[in-house]
Amino acid sequence: MLSNLPPNTVERLSLYRRRLLNFPFEEKPFIHSHQLAHLLKINPAHIRRDLMLMGFSGDVHKGYDIRKLIKKIGQTIDCVQVQKVAFVGIGDLGRTVAEYFNNTETRLKVAATFRLTEEPKTQFSDVQCYNISKMKSIIKKEGIELIVLAVPTSYAKEISKTVIAAGVKGILNFTSVHLEVPEHIYIEEYDMISKLEKLSYFTNK
């Protein structure tokens, strides 16, 4: 792992890898930054800068070696050991994410989902769904370190305290509630209400 990359670079490296894993690199083993940029609809300058930041360079004529690039991204951003994720209150949305992580060589694994009301059942593939009353003990038992938090606002603060006390280090927060957390906890916010109001604005222009 390279420990000083900017957040947006890490996010884009993850995106490049995912796109390249679906690229026919058996037949076309090399790609230029402008070609990858076109596939992802982003600025080629970002790509060149991101790859430079992790010390990866391409051939002036042939471009980047895709297989090496995929491997390099893994060495740069992946954790060394498996890290476990749980979804709290998110319903079916976790399914696509679990499909990706739990069937490939990635080091992230979706280990559990929790629901506010329901009784335990298997929600999708091999991921077990628990009632939220079991959350603390399951997080500890499974060693879950990342949480996707998507519960009604009135539950957000209490649940975030519980998961942090149980050992969680990172929270992807969908609740639109600002969470006060200790400094060593990493929070990534997503505010769906603002995104919908933006969507509304641009579809009414």
The least CB distance from residue 182 to a second copy, in Å, is: 13
Interface map 62-81 toward a second copy (x if CB under 8 A): ---------------xxxx-
62 or 186: CB nearest a second copy: 186
What DSSP line would sit under the chain, residue for residue? --TT--HHHHHHHHHHHHHHHTS-TTT--EE-HHHHHHHHTS-HHHHHHHHHHTT---BTTTBEEHHHHHHHHHHHHS-SS-EEEEEES-GGGHHHHHHHHTTSS-SEEEEEEEESSPPPEEEETTEEEEEGGGHHHHHHHHTEEEEEE---HHHHHHHHHHHHHTT--EEEE-SS-PPP--TT-EEEE--HHHHHHHHHHHH--
Which of 38, 52, 67, 99: binder of a second copy (CB under 8 A)? 99
SS3 labels along 33-48: HHHHHHHHCCCHHHHH
62 or 79: CB nearest a second copy: 79
The least CB distance from residue 102 to a second copy, in Å, is: 12
The least CB distance from residue 61 to a second copy, in Å, is: 28
| Contacts with 194 (C-beta within 8 Å, 6 or more apart), sequence order | none
61 or 81: CB nearest a second copy: 81
Q: Is 31 in the site for a second copy (CB under 8 A)?
A: no
The least CB distance from residue 32 to a second copy, in Å, is: 19
Q: Is 89 in the site for a second copy (CB under 8 A)?
A: yes
Among 183, 179, 178, residue whose Cα is nearest residue 162? 179
Which of 54, 70, 93, 181: binder of a second copy (CB under 8 A)? 93
52 or 79: CB nearest a second copy: 79
Q: Is 142 in the site for a second copy (CB under 8 A)?
A: no
Q: Give the interface with a second copy as residue ranges (CB under 8 A).
A: 1, 3, 5, 7, 10-12, 14-15, 18, 41, 77-80, 83, 85, 89-93, 95-97, 99-101, 107-108, 115-116, 145-146, 148, 150-153, 169-172, 174-176, 178, 186, 188, 190-205
